[in-house]
Amino acid sequence: MRPWRRAALFASAIAAIELVALLAGAAVLVARPLARAVERHAEKVASTPAKPSPAPKLVVHRRAPPPKPTHSRAQMRVLVLNGNGRTGVAHDEATRLEQLGYRIAGAADARRHDYATSVVMYSPGYRPEGVRLAHDLHVGVVGPLDGLSRSALRGGQLAVILGAR
């Protein structure tokens, strides 16, 4: 190797070591004040009481009441299905509905006997009457026909599936 190359490599190595030492020294000089500033800011934030946040605005969604029934109870035919498995429940409820003025399309067992709660279902266009029937029976679940065909209603417009409660 030529002597000038060796001297250039040696000088470059010394310059690199000096650069690293200067960067480390600058980091130490800058890091201490920066760390103190961050620490003071954290203490200041921790010691000041939090501003009370404004109370969240409550959004109340109100459902419009269902329209008034257009058909009387005597015009409505109800299919009563036993969905809880107890013997005679559907016929007892059908008798009770007849006393309230409803016509009974039939009383039978549902396909399943594991309904936890009673359900009132209605054909399209009979929602107000379904809500009234649910109110009459003290049933909280009302919905459109689901899983029953219109032919399965035996000419009725409403269906009640009696659950365990």
- Other Cβ atoms closer than 10 A to 153: 20
Instruction: Please check whether residues 15 and 77 belong to one and the same domain.
Output: no
Instruction: Please check whether residues 81 and 133 belong to one and the same domain.
Output: yes
Confidence band (pLDDT; 50, 70, 90) for 74? very high
Instruction: Please check whether residues 44 and 77 belong to one and the same domain.
Output: no
Instruction: Please check whether residues 128 and 79 belong to one and the same domain.
Output: yes
pTM higher than 0.85? no
**Containing domain of residue 153, as a range?**
73-162
**Angle, helices 127-137/89-100, rounded to nearest 10 degrees:** 110
- For residues 6, 8, 11, 17, the Cα torsion angle rounded to the nearest 10 degrees is -90
With respect to residue 68, please indicate whether it lies within any of the assigned structural domains. no
With respect to residue 34, please indicate whether it lies within any of the assigned structural domains. yes
Q: 3-state DSSP helix/strand/coil percent for the chain, to nearest 5?
A: 45, 15, 40
pLDDT tens by residue, 10-51:
899 999 999 999 999 888 888 888 888 888 888 887 777 767
Ramachandran angles phi, psi of 63, nearest 5°: -85, 140
The total domain count for the chain is 2
With respect to residue 55, please indicate whether it lies within any of the assigned structural domains. no
Contact 139, 112 (CB under 8 A): no
pLDDT tens by residue, 123-144:
888 999 999 999 999 998 898 8
pLDDT at 112 over 90: no
With respect to residue 25, please indicate whether it lies within any of the assigned structural domains. yes
Instruction: Please check whether residues 84 and 146 belong to one and the same domain.
Output: yes
pLDDT tens by residue, 89-99:
999 999 999 99
Contact 120, 97 (CB under 8 A): no
Instruction: Please check whether residues 40 and 82 belong to one and the same domain.
Output: no
